[in-house]
Amino acid sequence: MDEIVALAKRRGFIFQSSEIYGGIAGFWDYGPLGAVLKRNVKNAWWRDTVELRDDVVAFDSSIVMHPSGWEASGHVAAFHDVMVDCKTCKHRFRYDHLEDRTHCPDCGSSRSFTEPRNFNLMLKTAIGPMEDTSALAYLRPETAQGIFVNFKNLYHTARTRPPFGIAQIGKSFRNEITPGNFTYRSREFEQAELEYFVPDDGKDMEAFAAWVERRKAWYAAYGIRSERLRFYELRPEERPHYAKAGVDVEYAFPWGWGELESIAHRGTYDLEAHMRLSGKDLRFFDEATKKHETPLLIESSAGVDRTALTFLVDAYERERSVDPNGKQTERIVLRFHPSIAPVQAAVFSLARNKPELVERATAIEQGLRPHLRTQYDEGNIGQLYRRQDEVGTPFCVTVDYETLDDATVTVRERDSMRQERVAADGLQRYLEERT
Ligand code: GAP
């Protein structure tokens, strides 16, 4: 993990937020490559969950909602972790994370913990010029509630009725007691959430199973190693009382299994909670029963940052091999799927100081740019390959002296390191077919 964190910083994927001021725990900034990686993850999710479905609509709600929404949802009363403080070193711990509850893991003091107490995870803010309690508001700890409170608006304007889904991607905030494991547990993060509403017609478990399968297929399509991914079916005692089924998608991180996504059958719980407190009717007219009914809810809630981290961890490899001269070599390579890779094709000029080569290579790169995510570079070819391997670029294209004679370029594939001469005028098609 330390190697991956170092690579992420060195190559511009992820930086500690506010680093020049010593950092701020639980907050992260995405550099030039990380920002593209994260966008690619979101695009891949959006494509499969919204664009390819004729029964899912897009949505984007505000981060700050009316505080009553969080009362109705149960977050004000119950969205907390249990914490303890060490009275000696003053460090705070999540009670359920402590392996040994008699000694402080930081300073080693024995029996120094305070009594366990609840700590609400919602970040608070104040709205307007008066910082009294009437102005209290929360930064949303999940995007889902924005969908529930808008259910009526969305149901009417989407011109559809259950079964149909509403999807959104956006920032969420949780005042985690112990942020950690790089971006895995952050205080500010993004979620990609799908809320799929179905009528209570006996086919709800089918809909639940279909979403689990769709999400399985998504992770497989983008090449996440199947042996590091599991779909853990929650037992009844592990689920909230109102949930009829639950599957956690988990990845084998270097520190152990960690949750990427939770898929849950939440019944009528959320809409009924908002109907009770708001007094507004959030039911739909069911043509089958000729009655107003509360739909059942299937939710798939994925963490964007955790998924981006998963792609990074899963792609990372320190590969040792023997070169043609019998010498041991080592390279670091990120084996990103071409849709996820921040750069899809890098174009090099073999020499920096040869204007004909530089001109030709930049023209090729500019020609590819509308079709692929490209980057131009020049210099020592070994170093250029090493850099692109480390950022996971699937193809490198080199313009050399031969190019000037016969209009061909060398294309080098990241994983096999195989090189092939390709006609420059067929290059775009060649790369598009392979990315
Ligand atoms: N609406 C349901 C919901 O929010 P959740 O299991 O609490 O469910 C869903 O969160 C996903 O959001 C998690 O599986 C995880 O990927 C992401 N997530 C939750 N807390 C996070 C944190 N502190 N840092 C990064 N991602 C987090």
Task: Please give the average pLDDT of every successive group of 10 residues along the chain, which has 435 residues.
Answer: 98 98 98 98 98 97 97 95 93 90 92 93 91 84 98 92 97 96 98 98 98 98 98 96 96 98 98 98 94 98 98 97 89 98 97 95 98 96 96 98 97 97 98 97
CA of 404 to the centre of ligand 1 (A): 54
**Residue 374 CA neighbour count, 13 Å, CB half:** 23
Q: Name the closest-CA residue to atom 14, ligand 1.
A: 261
Q: How far apart are CA 40 and CA 369, in angstroms?
A: 16
Q: Which two tokens mark 387?
A: 């850099």
Whether residue 246 contacts residue 239, with contact meaning beta carbons closer than 8 Å, is answered with: yes
Read off the tokens for 386: 């090493």
Could you give the CA distance from residue 106 to residue 113 in angstroms, rounded to a whole number?
12
Q: Which residues contact 358 (CB under 8 A, 6 or more apart)?
A: 349, 351, 352, 378
With the C-alpha atoms ordered 272, 69, 155, 269, is the resulting torsion angle positive or negative?
negative
Residues contacting residue 383 through CB under 8 Å, at least 6 positions apart:
none
334, β-bridge pairs: 316
User: How many alpha carbons fall within 13 Å on the CB side of residue 407?
Assistant: 6
How far is residue 223's CA from residue 402's CA, in Å, rounded to a whole number? 36
pLDDT of residue 418: 96
CA distance 241 to 222: 34
Q: Are strands 164-173 and 284-286 parallel, antiparallel or unpaired?
A: unpaired
Phi, psi of 234 (to 5 degrees): -75, 140
Q: Which domains does the chain have, with CATH numbers?
A: 2-64+141-312 (3.30.930.10), 343-434 (3.40.50.800)
Q: How far apart are CA 338 and CA 345, in angstroms?
A: 9
DSSP string, 57-98: EE----SB--HHHHHHTTHHHH-EEEEEEBTTT--EEEGGG-
Q: Output the residue whose Cα is nearest ligand 1's atom 18.
A: 303
Task: Supply the pLDDT for residue 270.
Answer: 98
What are the pocket residues of ligand 1 if the criterion is a CB atom closer than 6 Å to any ligand atom?
142, 144, 174, 176, 185-186, 189, 191, 193, 259-262, 299, 301-303, 305-306
Q: Is 137 helix (H, G, I), strand (E, B) or coil?
A: strand
Ligand 1 pocket: which of 65, 121, 148, 262 to mutate (most atoms within 8 A of CB)? 262
Query: How far, in Å, from the CA of 53 to the mean position of ligand 1?
Result: 24
Supply the pLDDT for residue 323: 83
Give me the pLDDT at residue 133, please.
65
Read off the pTM.
0.95
Crossing angle of the two packed helices 304-315 and 2-10, in degrees rounded to 10: 100
Q: How far apart are the first and last CA of the chain?
A: 28
Distance 302 CA to ligand 1 centre (A): 7
Q: In 174-286, which ranges are continuous DSSP H helix?
A: 204-221, 269-278
Contacts of 111 (CB under 8 A, 6+ apart): 102
Cα-based distances in Å from 236 to 265, 295, 353 = 12, 22, 68
Structure tokens at 14: 């992820």
Rounded to whole angstroms, how far apart are CA atoms 46 and 38? 12
For residue 129, the model assigns a pLDDT of 81
Index of the ligand 1 atom closest to the CA of residue 191: 12
Pick the closest to residue 250 from 237, 266, 263 (CA basis): 263
- Block residue for tokens 């690619």: 40
Report helix, strand or coil for 209. Answer: helix
